[in-house]
Amino acid sequence: MMIASPRLLSLGNRSLLVRSCRYFSSTTTSDGPSSFVLSHPSTVDHGQTSRGRVIAITSGKGGVGKTTVSASFALGLASRGKKTCVVDFDIGLRNLDIHLGMERRVVFDMVHCLMEECQIHQALIKDKKREPNLSLLAASQTRDKEVLTVAGVERILAELTNSFDCVVLDSPAGIESGARHAMFFADDAIIVANPELSSCRDADKMVGFIDSKSRRAELGPDECLPVSMTLLINRYDAERAQAEESLAINDMTELLGLPVVGVIPESRDVLPCTNLGNPVITLPDNVPASGAFHDMVDRFLGEEKELRFTTPEPVSFFKKLFG
């Protein structure tokens, strides 16, 4: 097809290269060795622990919808009975509290927990009105992400995974400290990408980091499974993909080599929902963005579901006639 240009092909080849480097990276972190208080990933792989899973929502590129996805995904998990904590890792630029309508309830945040200025349970904000299974740990609005340390993050995740089935981490953009700390302890990573080349290239870079620099990668295949990575395509416009104005689903799966956990359509419903503090998944299932999020949550939990909302809406006779 028209978009599968040499640029795409070279990006695809690099993907393979990155994958082949898996497990052969350095095993040190800038923070030096940390005490592993989070139970070993192999215990999670073999169901030998009651600890929850750590799920990173990440992308590389900024503005692709990580926070939008984190809010709806976490709410979806909670509504299916999973005790879920969603953590805003975007220190200094917090937003998730607004997406969840909890901005007036933030007293303590993740930095207070890292600096041991409060107990972690004091910083958790429970979603009393919608889903009591959901809690938020907000990011700091004022402090810098330099406060993040591997040991500090591990301590927080160890405590959260003791009480929650799912700990969802909303990663900041980029591949610097914040994003790296968010992916380091992940058991699962949901890579969010928009149907455009720049987003795929950054996503590919993040996949490479997770493949080589996550804790699971550093422990190696003899000790545990690699991070389970899936692709979430966000802001998909089926008409534009059909007209070859944007990447199609197949282009993206070929480029990134990941299984698709969901395709969320471009939707005018998302922004008003964010502004109201009610994630789009709270709308009825026949609203495309909401239905697509419900399907994505079900797929993540192991259900097989056909993709919906990925073909252009049929144009009615009258619309064709009168525009």
Ligand X SMILES: Nc1ncnc2c1ncn2[C@@H]1O[C@H](COP(=O)(O)OP(=O)(O)OP(=O)(O)O)[C@@H](O)[C@H]1O
Site of interaction with Mg ion (CB under 5 A): 66-67
Among 62, 221, 259, 312, binds ligand X (CB under 6 A): 62
Kindly tell me which of 41 and 65 has the beta carbon lying closer to Mg ion: 65
266 part of the interface to ligand X, by CB under 6 A: yes
Kindly tell me which of 164 and 293 has the beta carbon lying closer to ligand X: 293
**β-bridge mates for residue 193, sequence order:** 233
Tell me how far the alpha carbon of residue 100 is from its chain's centroid.
16
Q: Which DSSP symbol is given to 146?
A: G
Cα first-last separation, the chain: 29
Taking the CA of residue 116 as centre, how many other CA atoms within 13 Å lie in the half-sphere pointing to its CB? 4
Among 67, 133, 282, 290, binds ligand X (CB under 6 A): 67
Nearest to 169 by CA among 289, 212, 236, 161: 161
Q: 59 near 33, Cβ under 8 Å?
A: no
Contact letters for ligand X, residues 151-190 (x by CB under 6 A): ---------------------xx-----------------
66 part of the interface to ligand X, by CB under 6 A: yes
* Residue 278 contacts which entry, Mg ion, ligand X, none (Cβ below 5-8 A, type-dependent): none
Kindly tell me which of 44 and 287 has the beta carbon lying closer to ligand X: 287
DSSP strand pairing (228-236 vs 124-126): unpaired
Binding segment for ligand X among 25-33, 60-68, 146-154, 210-218 (CB under 6 A)? 60-68
Taking the CA of residue 2 as centre, how many other CA atoms within 13 Å lie in the half-sphere pointing to its CB? 8
For ligand X, the binding residues in 190-219 under the rule CB under 6 A are none
Alpha-carbon distance values, 54 to 57, 164, 255 (Å): 10, 10, 26
Which residues would be at the binding site for ligand X (CB under 6 A)? Answer: 59, 62-68, 90, 95, 172-173, 234-235, 264, 266-267, 270-271, 274, 289
